[in-house]
Amino acid sequence: MSPTVFKEGKYRFHFFSKEEERIHIHVVSPDGEAKFWLEPTISLANYFGLTKRELNHLQKTVERHKNEIIRKWKKHFKA
C-alpha cells in the first residue's frame, strides 16, 4: 500500500506502508523519484531522474508541508 499524502503539479508525495520507521516521504513524477527524511532534519535521502532545480523545489515543498506529513504519518502508522 502506498497512500498519497498530497499532490502538487506533476508530483505525488506518498508513503510506503511496509518500510522503515524513520519519518520520510517519497515523491514521484513522470521524470523520476526522490525520498526525503523529515527527522532529525529535512534532507534528501536519494533520488534519480530529477534535476537539482526540481530537488530544491521539492525540498521546499516538503518543508512547507512538514506538519501535514508528520500528522498523516502518525495517523497512518498509528505512531
Residue 73's pLDDT band (cuts 50, 70, 90): very high
Q: Are 8 and 24 in contact (CB under 8 A)?
A: no
Grid coordinates belonging to 2: 502506498
The pTM score is: 0.93
For the stretch 15-61, pLDDT in tens is 987 778 899 999 999 999 999 999 999 999 999 999 999 999 999 99
Separation of first and last alpha carbons in the chain: 17
Domain boundaries, the chain: 4-77
What are the residues whose beta carbons fall under 8 Å from the beta carbon of 17, sequence distance 6 or more? 1, 2, 3, 76
Contact 77, 70 (CB under 8 A): no
